[in-house]
């Protein structure tokens, strides 16, 4: 069976443990090599053409059922968190329920740069479900650093997401060498450029990284949260859960790292960060304008 671009495939040598999208098919020394993007995990890989098999719709559903279940569980837990945050804010701004709670809230705005258009679409759908204001931009990982400064000026976000695909290659060198990673150095440079625009960690919250990314370099470059401490794969939607938590946390509150990580799909092996502040702001009074009906 012929395999073409955008087909969903598995690798026979790995017992088809992960689903991949075929992004490109190249030829090297007379052999076909396929470039693959993970369908649920933010990993990029290459594989011999003959090692691939197309996964039909029925098998795809079986393989993705676990991920869909985890996604739904994380979403439910996140909504519970947001509800508790909202109740606490209502209590605080209303003086312990002794005053009318006619207030309004402004969650943090997100600028999400993603190297994968398909993942970006999934993330934007989730942001919308949660209620986070977001601007999504599809951008090749290698071009992010040159574009991020102008995007920050244009959109003035409270939160920046820099993600896409990444992978560590043992053939390229040691785990400690950033040149052994496909896109980590591009993510690092993007974070550095963003910090030239907004140096303060509490004025612009940054999440950066993808599967197996060089966590330490991203943090030292200026990211608040990043992947991947244990160099494991992260789920496509993990960045959304992290920054949404920040978006709905009050700006006067310090965010505990574990509180941010506990409802993600990957957890502390794939994600980590430093103490940061929320960005949600509360205002008063809230009085909706009611237009009078014209006679």
For residues 277 and 255, is the Cβ–Cβ distance under 8 A?
Answer: yes
- Collapsing DSSP to helix, strand or coil, 127 comes out as helix
Q: Of 36-50, 154-168, 170-184, 267-281, which gets the smallest average pLDDT?
A: 36-50
pLDDT value at residue 158? 97
pLDDT value at residue 84? 75
Tell me which residue has tokens 């693959």: 36
CA distance 261 to 267: 6
pLDDT value at residue 79? 76
pLDDT value at residue 37? 86
Tell me which residue has tokens 């004025």: 203
pLDDT value at residue 42? 78
Q: Of 16-25, 145-154, 163-172, which gets the smallest average pLDDT?
A: 16-25
Mean pLDDT, residues 83-103: 64
Which DSSP string corresponds to 148-185? HHHHHHHH--SEEEEE--B-B-GGG--TT-GGGBSSHH
Mean pLDDT, residues 14-19: 83
DSSP 198: -
pLDDT value at residue 96? 56
pLDDT value at residue 237? 86
CA distance 32 to 48: 6
Best mean pLDDT range from 15-19, 228-232, 249-253: 228-232
Q: Report yes or no on whether pTM surpasses 0.95.
A: no
For 196-220, how does the pLDDT look when each residue is reduced to its tens digit (9 = 90+)? 999 999 999 999 999 999 999 999 9
Residue 44, pLDDT > 90, answer: no
The residues, ordered by sequence, that sit 6+ positions from 226 with a Cβ below 8 Å of its Cβ are: 207, 208, 209, 213, 215, 218, 219, 271, 272, 273
CB atoms within 10 A of CB 38: 23
Residue 133, pLDDT > 70, answer: yes
Mean pLDDT, residues 162-178: 92
CA distance 238 to 219: 17
Tell me which residue has tokens 């933010």: 42
pLDDT value at residue 196? 97
Question: Torsion angle of alpha carbons 77, 80, 86, 90, nearest 10°?
Answer: -150
Percent of the chain with pLDDT over 90: 44
Instruction: Establish whether the linkage from the previous residue to 289 is cis, with ω within 30° of 0.
Output: no
CA distance 132 to 107: 7
Mean pLDDT, residues 111-128: 93
State the distance between the two ends of the chain, measured CA to CA, in whole angstroms. Answer: 70
Compare 125 and 294 and report the one with higher pLDDT. Answer: 125
The residues, ordered by sequence, that sit 6+ positions from 32 with a Cβ below 8 Å of its Cβ are: 25, 26, 48, 49, 50
- Collapsing DSSP to helix, strand or coil, 106 comes out as strand
Mean pLDDT value across the chain: 87
DSSP 40: S
pLDDT value at residue 293? 63
Compare 253 and 199 and report the one with higher pLDDT. Answer: 199
């Amino acid at each position: 069976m012929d395999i073409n671009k955008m087909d969903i495939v598995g690798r026979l040598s790995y017992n088809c443990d992960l689903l991949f999208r075929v992004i490109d098919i190249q030829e090297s020394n007379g052999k076909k090599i396929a470039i693959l993007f993970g369908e649920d995990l933010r990993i990029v890989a290459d594989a011999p053409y003959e090692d691939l098999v197309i996964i039909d719709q029925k098998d795809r559903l079986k393989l993705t059922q676990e991920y869909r279940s985890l996604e739904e569980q994380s979403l439910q837990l996140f909504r519970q968190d947001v509800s508790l945050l909202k109740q606490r804010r209502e209590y605080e701004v209303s003086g312990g329920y002794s005053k009318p709670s006619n207030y309004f809230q402004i969650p943090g705005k997100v600028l999400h740069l993603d190297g994968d258009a398909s993942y970006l679409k999934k993330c934007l759908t989730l942001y919308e479900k949660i209620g986070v204001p977001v601007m999504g931009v599809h951008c090749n990982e290698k071009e992010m650093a040159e574009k991020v400064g102008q995007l920050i000026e244009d959109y003035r976000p409270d939160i920046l997401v820099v993600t896409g695909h990444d992978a560590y290659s043992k053939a390229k060198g040691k785990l400690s060498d950033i040149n052994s990673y496909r896109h980590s150095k591009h993510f690092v440079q993007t974070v550095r450029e963003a910090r030239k625009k907004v140096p303060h960690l509490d004025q612009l919250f940054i999440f950066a990284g993808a599967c197996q990314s060089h966590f330490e370099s991203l943090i030292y470059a200026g990211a608040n949260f990043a992947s991947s401490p244990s160099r494991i794969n992260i789920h496509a939607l993990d960045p959304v859960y992290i920054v949404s938590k920040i978006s709905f946390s009050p700006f006067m509150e310090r965010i505990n790292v574990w509180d941010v990580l506990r409802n993600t799909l990957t957890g502390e092996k794939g994600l980590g960060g430093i103490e940061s502040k929320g960005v949600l702001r509360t205002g008063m009074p809230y009085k909706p304008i009611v237009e009078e009906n014209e006679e």
